[in-house]
Chains A and B, each alone.
Chain A
């Protein structure tokens, strides 16, 4: 070999590099193994030191920014629905709330379409990064519990948003879906004068939000004994616009539409209104969600004459609210859970129902609509009273601290 001398020199050099690297990593790992054990204690002492001035931090974020309050790092994990407006809005509100809180130095967002094992991995990465709190939209109620227990052991605050987990140390924060269905259904039954038949268009069979909404619908129904429901168990739209359009077209074509007095939808609203309009039928009172297309229809009496409807909020601001909750917990504030929820440590966000019958209602709908630059697939109710402090523009900008 011609270059054996060079090769040998290289070999010696690389061996030295390997040995040095191995030793230094071994050497640095010793203190590192001690670091995680000290980190939780410092993290656990932090809330108590911060809790001496929780009022200043919570009441006025601006004053918290001027006074050098304790800065936290937050991790956010989203395990599905990439490209879905509802999920994107959640992540952007989380970033915006982290920015305006003045208490977050960095928010790290991991988002991909993955299974529960993949989200476990993302959460473990955030634990290894040493964030102070992890806010996440769980892929499953139980599958993430091993990583959540590890987070708790490392002194990290965990908050599940949009859905719940069964981990006892994690706080859950999501929209009250029972109330969501109850508010809309009650409005509808009142509009119908307490009598008549309702076409019941549900969401995705087996989904927990769908089951909760069914409960709320049945609660309202129990108060109006003369209301009949067709079909009694409802039809599943799968929250899919194409399926919904097919269902309502069949319903109209078969003549069943002519014998009903109201429609309850689980958020698949604007396509139902359009189909009725296209078929040249008279609009019956209808319940929908705070989605851009539906609200536009509600505010367009010339395009959709006689349309009476109510938009119930299903806010995607839960991402931002989750960050607020995590900060409250980090600052040592006590948070009161809702006893009606299926899990302890759960905060349910109360939805709001706004119809297009009163001037006040129309003004409210207009105010939702009047946010320039809002993506049409995003729910309009961006903010949540008492939980979020960002402006709609900040949510749309989708920038966290230091970005």
Chain B
């Protein structure tokens, strides 16, 4: 029985604990294009690398492309770990964007992972536009998909941080944060009300002369006799109102959805089948 339990615990650990960490290749981070799926021609690789290096130099964001063929694991986790466990990223917060492209019998699956300032640069709307645009050229092959990704990413970077992420920042640990506006008027209003109530209570303590309105201290409790009790139902009235619901938008006003890789680093991005 004990052996059976031990086996169960081991299987559970492997499935839900260790299984989260994807096996990723250790690479030279300067190459930028890692075509493990052999989806790109050499010409395409050279052309795309030029575009990527231009992007990196212009916008101070790293850009990585990794391909797979018939990858059946979790492409999102693979993509995040590939970025995190290799030496990618610009600056202290490893700013950058990565495209993981997997080809299989059904077509292409793409996963975009953003890190650091890349999270702010590519909000959910831009990620969806990237995926849509890549899907639009999928018939032209992986090279066209990757080039579309690089070009459109450059175009977005050229536009700067989108409005949806203007009130966000990346902290020293690379986490995506919403800039909170100090609620000076709300706090001030609450403070005015509270301090006025306190003052009125204290003023009332100085007013010790009160008008007597009842005679409860002179009531003989043993004399109380209630002889008439009538309770008659009159009517019932039922009303209803629609419950107001929030629209479920991104919390705190930020425009990027966030998830964490096995390393604990925050990432934005998105993906799906093209």
A binds B: no
